[in-house]
Amino acid sequence: MALAAATSSNIANIANTENLDTSLNVKRLSPVLGAEVTSFDVAGCTDAQFEQLLTAWDCAHGLLVLRDVHISPAEHIAFARRFGEPAMGTADPHSILGHYWHPEFPAIYRVSNKVINGVPQGREDAGTYWHTDGTHGNTPSRCSLLYGLELPPCGGDTIFASLSTSYEALSDTMKRLLQGLTAVHTLAKTLADGSQNSYAKELVGKADLAAAKTATHPVVRYHARTGHRSLFVNPGFTSHIVGMHSAESKALLEFLFAHTTQQEFLYRHQWRRNDLVIWDNTCTMHYAVSDYKAYGVRYMHRVSVKGETPVAA
Ligand SMILES: O=C(O)CCC(=O)C(=O)O
């Protein structure tokens, strides 16, 4: 199937209309999404500095990498609270296996292959498929803040896709077709696709499903701050388009999944220790690469922030 062209002019249209001029130390990581911020005082930033960070985040299409961050779990949660209320426990559709919450700080979900005395210290293989956090819930997460505490010497990257850039690259005819469509999101989709990544041990198990929810969301949504439109379907959770025959829905979703995962819309993050990566779940999706386990330990803390009901564009 022919893909809508991710032409450099489409991408440049977005990249050039915005700039990252602030008093922060910000550098784009790729033309399509992502910016690096150095020397940012996460625990002590002022409201004005935080506003500048939000602006940089919007300009970087929803992905910031704060380097060399030294924060305690309490400071991590306090910083996440500046973006909104942390999603916790069963209220967080993206953190459903309770034993991976931090024992003292339940707003922190642990993502790790680390095992101490036979006890896993986090969810291994979390997110080793394309997804946007919690879209199988009615109010998917606004954003997630993932902090890299221990990293293998190589591997364990996270790949991010800009869903606003890939939306803009569609033809006007396709944009009109998508307008007004809704799609169903469910964890059962992830289970059905469990074999899509043979390197990951267990993507979704029975316990996940028992706690899981199903939600219906617009296929194209507005971003409350930027007013940009973005696609809001992902291979991990989106099972079908409402009101279409299954063959039509399958063909359209397969097209959208192939379109959104073209190299031109991606940024691959190679983690450094003490990176705090903040992604906007309203306009990005991501994929954790499960290639590092023979090389070492990867231990991360994640705080997810509650979102709102997606607004159709
Ligand atoms: O471990 C990662 O790189 C990402 C994990 C993930 O997909 C998530 O926390 O949603």
Give average pLDDT by consecutive 10-residue segment, the chain, 313 residues.
37 41 85 95 95 94 98 98 86 63 92 93 89 93 97 97 98 98 89 56 58 87 93 95 98 98 98 98 96 94 95 92
pLDDT, one tens digit per residue, over 83-107 is 999 987 655 656 555 678 898 999 9
> 15 is in which domain, residue-wise?
9-305
Ligand 1 pocket test target in 95, 123, 142, 146 with most atoms within 8 Å of CB:
146
Measured by CA distance, the residue closest to atom 8 of ligand 1 is: 127
Long-range contacts of 206-209 (CB under 8 A, 24+ apart): 207/96, 207/97, 208/96, 208/97
DSSP 112-132: E--EETTEE-SBTTTT-SSB-
Domain assignment present for 311: no
Q: Which residues of 168-192 are buried (b: 16+ CB within 10 A; e: fewer)?
A: bbbeeebeeebeebbbbbbbbbbbe
Instruction: Locate the ligand 1 atom nearest the alpha carbon of residue 158 and give its number.
Output: 3
What's the pLDDT score for residue 123?
Answer: 87
What's the pLDDT score for residue 23?
Answer: 79
Q: Are 274 and 148 in contact (CB under 8 A)?
A: yes
Domain assignment present for 312: no
Instruction: Locate the ligand 1 atom nearest the alpha carbon of residue 269 and give its number.
Output: 3
What's the structural domain count of the chain?
A: 1
Domain assignment present for 299: yes
What's the pLDDT score for residue 197?
Answer: 55
133 is catalytic: yes
Domain assignment present for 153: yes
* Ligand 1 pocket residue status of 108, Cβ below 6 Å: no
Going from the C-alpha of 198 to that of each of 50, 125, 182, 266, 293, the distances in angstroms are 41, 11, 30, 22, 14
Give the chain's length: 313
Instruction: Locate the ligand 1 atom nearest the alpha carbon of residue 286 and give its number.
Output: 7
Helix (H) or strand (E) segment spanning residue 304: strand 299-305
pLDDT, one tens digit per residue, over 127-186 is 889 999 999 999 999 999 999 999 999 999 999 999 999 999 999 999 999 999 999 998
pLDDT, one tens digit per residue, over 121-144 is 998 888 889 999 999 999 999 999
Q: How far is the CA of 122 from the centre of ligand 1 (A)?
A: 11
Domain assignment present for 2: no
Domain assignment present for 1: no
Domain assignment present for 276: yes
47 is catalytic: no
Domain assignment present for 53: yes
Q: Specify which residues 312 forms β-bridges with.
A: 221
For residue 299, the domain's CATH number is 3.60.130.10
Q: What is the pTM of this model?
A: 0.90
**What is the C-alpha separation between 195 and 278, in angstroms, rounded?**
29
CA atoms within 13 Å, Cβ hemisphere of 136 = 25
298 is catalytic: no
301 is catalytic: no
